[in-house]
Amino acid sequence: MIRIRPDIAKAIQENRPVVALESTIISHGMPYPQNVETAKRCQEIIEEQGALAATIAILDGEIVIGLTDQEIEQIANGSVEVLKVGRKDLPVVIQKKQNGALTVSGTMVACQMAGIRFFATGGIGGVHRGAETTYDISSDLEEFTKSQVAVISAGAKAILDLEKTMEYMETKGILVLGYDTDELPAFYTRESGIPLEYNCQTPEEIASICAMKWNMNLEGGVFIANPIPLQYSYPKAEIDQAIDQAVQDMNRLGIKGKKTTPYLLSRITEITANKSLEVNMQLVFNNCQLAAKIAVAYWKGQQ
């Protein structure tokens, strides 16, 4: 049920740095062909830092760790049906030999199976707005209590209720580390007003904390919040207005469940005249660079 590209399998076996990349951002998070360009550039950035990049998806019922350029194109261009797959969906999609783009939770499961410790993404899922009545909470958060994987992202997606997301993570005992920040970044912008308990100044510091957690056999992963670079950060008031408009449109159309996040990201791109798409790409690139640096530092420390 799992196929690992030979060079990646060898790197894992030899305790060399590998950084995982999700595939939902390719199939459901960005339009074509920008999704392909972003996926390939993410891989290049990671490898420029001395790590191997492993983009992960399900193809014909097989978990593929380390997609080829042709396989990235296959899940990106809309020529085949690609389902959005989290932890709970894995057995069904694999048994039915379908294609699947893995969410954060799905990617973390695949990383745990393969022995990959670090994973770069855009933003994690969390507690959705109105969850006090809908109970809509992403399985991404629960996965942090299970898989021993460090996820580097630009915070939780700004379309979420960020305060409730942080409260949930605190309740679940999920370790959250800020990279050179005292507050939770809010995806498109560096600002949220929500304080973080731990501010780490270097990739080496983060790597050493991850090593300590896992050497203590503490279950679960680490959430590493990495703010978007200042020059790309969206003005908070402007992006908040765009998000509020997108949420109103979504509620008016009655969109729910798995379609929520793809719709909101697409609608925000429309409202901002594609500016948010460029911001999204830049924050992902920034996360890939940091993830690779942490992975290199981690495995260097294990030698």
CA distance 55 to 72: 8
CA distance 205 to 251: 43
Supply 140's token pair.
Answer: 């991404």
Contact 141, 168 (CB under 8 A): yes
Catalytic positions: 22, 157
Region for residue 155 given its phi and psi (left: phi exceeds 0; alpha: psi -120 to 50; beta: otherwise): left
Extended beta strands in the chain, E state:
2-4, 18-21, 52-59, 62-65, 83-85, 100-102, 118-120, 150-153, 175-179, 199-200, 222-225
